[in-house]
């Protein structure tokens, strides 16, 4: 089996996840340790497929993103991640990485979550590391904290961990939140699928360093998480949605208060939010969440998804709408 891995490499598929309780801000930038716990739903759309092939004869790693050689920051992040995998595996060979996103890249639809989850699974397999899901999640976190959650399907909680250094690293990983009966829809309104103006990494740093609202959000986020866990276990979509919406708006408020302000929300975002309010006034439970970009994800019952999608389209003409539901965890693709 080892020879086959060398020949054909290892291919993994991972899906993005959307946080209902957000991660925003790192207390350790090198180890990527979040300030807050987060909780997400892994989606069944926009998978990333990544192949890692060892190339012992090459001088350096090569990285291809959607068929084009990667350069600059994205390439550096993949190489730094491979260095970490090699260190864990006690190996030194360079690798060729080929990755494909079926969704938009860098647009606040969690391409780094699916990307680093797929790279963790494929990289570990290619270098012969035998890691359990917890260790894979911890490893994926070193690429992007949100990637720790995409190792798992359905709902997952990512622990921020305690302490510093090795203790923090050990304690910061995701695990499933088993609520098999809870199977809502997430209607994604892509109001702008282009890459974001400010990377979430830079925006988080600025928020932590300059926003007077950041500490309050961290405190309220703890309460939101406790409420969210209870609501999920009850299968209470209205409570889950309400908590997710307030947590996301609070996160954006911390960014708006940063100096200078980080504003990801656009006029089209606000139009969709108005549409979501109208749906609720009409008795349709629908709740919005937004990440590091203007796109809106609307949580609703699956039976209401078509109505929600129609409202969203009307609110932001020209946007593309994709309806997702809970999806699978990251896995190796055989053959």
Choose between 62 and 254: whose C-beta lies nearer to ligand 2P0: 254
Q: How far is the CB of 18 from ligand 2P0 (least distance, A)?
A: 7
Question: Using CB under 6 A, which of the segments 18-26, 80-88, 272-280, 300-308 binds ligand 2P0?
Answer: 18-26
- Please choose, out of 140-148, 166-174, 270-278, 302-310, the segment that lies near ligand 2P0 by the rule CB under 6 A: 140-148
- What sign does the dihedral 19-161-81-207 (CA atoms) show? positive
Residue 46 engages ligand 2P0 in binding (rule: CB under 6 A): no
Least distance to ligand 2P0, CB of residue 21, Å: 8
Between CA 249 and CA 253 the distance in angstroms is 6
Structure tokens at 311: 């409202």
19 interacts with ligand 2P0 by CB under 6 A: yes
Does 292 engage in binding with ligand 2P0 (CB under 6 A)?
yes
Where does this chain touch ligand 2P0 (CB under 6 A) — which range of 19-27, 52-60, 98-106, 266-274? 19-27
Q: What is the residue whose two structure tokens read 């716990």?
A: 37
Does 112 bind ligand 2P0 (CB under 6 A)? Our answer is yes
**Exposure string (b/e) for 149-174, b if CB count within 10 Å is 16 or more?**
bbbbbbbbbbbbbeeeeeebbeebbb
Would you count residue 295 as binding ligand 2P0 (CB under 6 A)? Answer: no
Kindly tell me which of 146 and 271 has the beta carbon lying closer to ligand 2P0: 146
Cα(141)–Cα(322) distance, rounded to whole angstroms? 27
Report the DSSP pairing between strands 62-65 and 68-69. Answer: antiparallel
Rule CB under 6 A: say whether 200 interacts with ligand 2P0.
yes
Q: How far apart are CA 29 and CA 19, in angstroms?
A: 20
When the beta carbons of 38 and 192 are compared against ligand 2P0, the nearer one is: 38
Burial group, residue 38, by CB count within 10 angstroms (0-12, 13-18, 19+): buried
24 binding ligand 2P0? (CB under 6 A): yes
Whole-angstrom CA distances from 252 to 23, 207, 247 are 12, 10, 9
Distance separating alpha carbons of residues 140 and 85, to the nearest angstrom: 10
Binding of ligand 2P0 at residue 145 (CB under 6 A)? yes
Name the one range near ligand 2P0 by CB under 6 A: 84-92, 143-151, 227-235, 276-284: 143-151
291 touching ligand 2P0, by CB under 6 A = yes
User: Is 201 an interacting residue with respect to ligand 2P0 (CB under 6 A)?
Assistant: yes
Q: Which is nearer to ligand 2P0, 73 or 183 (CB)?
A: 73
- State in angstroms the smallest separation of the CB of 324 from ligand 2P0: 15
Candidate segments 2-10, 42-50, 138-146, 254-262, binder of ligand 2P0 by CB under 6 A: 138-146
- In angstroms, give the least distance from the CB of 115 to ligand 2P0: 9
Q: Report, in Å, the least distance between residue 39 CB and ligand 2P0.
A: 9
- Count CB-CB contacts under 10 A for residue 335: 4
Q: Which one of 15-23, 44-52, 88-96, 231-239 is the stretch in contact with ligand 2P0 (CB under 6 A)?
A: 15-23
332 phi and psi angles, rounded to 5 deg: -75, 145
Q: Distances in Å between the alpha carbon of 271 and those of 32, 134, 214, 299?
A: 34, 40, 26, 16
Structure tokens at 158: 């990512």
Q: What angle do CA 235, 241, 247 make, to 5 degrees?
A: 125
| Footprint of ligand 2P0 (CB under 6 A) | 19, 22-24, 32, 38, 112, 144-146, 200-201, 291-292
């Amino acid at each position: 089996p080892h020879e086959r891995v060398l020949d054909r490499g290892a291919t993994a598929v991972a899906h993005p996840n959307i946080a209902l309780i957000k991660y925003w801000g790192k207390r350790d930038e090198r180890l990527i340790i979040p300030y807050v716990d987060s909780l997400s739903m892994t989606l069944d759309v926009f998978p990333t497929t990544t192949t890692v092939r060892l190339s012992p004869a090459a001088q350096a790693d090569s990285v291809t993103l959607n068929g084009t050689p990667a350069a600059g920051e994205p390439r550096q992040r993949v190489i730094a991640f491979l260095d970490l995998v090699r260190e864990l595996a006690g190996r030194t060979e360079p690798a060729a990485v080929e990755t494909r996103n079926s969704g938009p890249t860098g647009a606040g639809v969690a391409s780094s979550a699916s990307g680093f989850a797929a790279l963790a699974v494929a990289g570990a397999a290619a270098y012969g590391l035998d890691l359990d899901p917890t260790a894979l999640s911890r490893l994926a976190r070193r690429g992007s904290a949100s990637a720790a959650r995409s190792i798992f399907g359905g709902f997952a909680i990512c622990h921020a961990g305690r302490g510093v250094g090795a203790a923090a690293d050990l304690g910061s990983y995701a695990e499933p939140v088993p609520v098999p009966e809870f199977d809502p829809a997430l209607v994604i309104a892509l109001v702008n699928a282009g890459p974001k103006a400010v990377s979430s990494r830079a925006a988080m740093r600025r928020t932590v360093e300059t926003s007077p609202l950041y500490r309050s959000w961290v405190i309220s986020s703890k309460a939101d998480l406790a409420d969210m866990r209870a609501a999920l276990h009850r299968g209470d979509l209205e409570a889950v949605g309400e908590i997710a919406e307030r947590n996301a708006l609070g996160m954006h408020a911390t960014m708006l208060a940063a100096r200078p302000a980080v504003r990801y929300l656009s006029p089209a975002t606000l139009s969709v939010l108005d549409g979501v309010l109208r749906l609720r006034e009409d008795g349709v439970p629908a709740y919005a969440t937004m990440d590091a970009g203007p796109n809106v994800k609307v949580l609703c019952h699956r039976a209401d998804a078509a109505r929600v999608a129609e409202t969203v389209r009307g609110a932001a003409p020209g946007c593309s709408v994709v309806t997702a539901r809970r999806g699978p965890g990251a896995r190796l693709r055989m053959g």
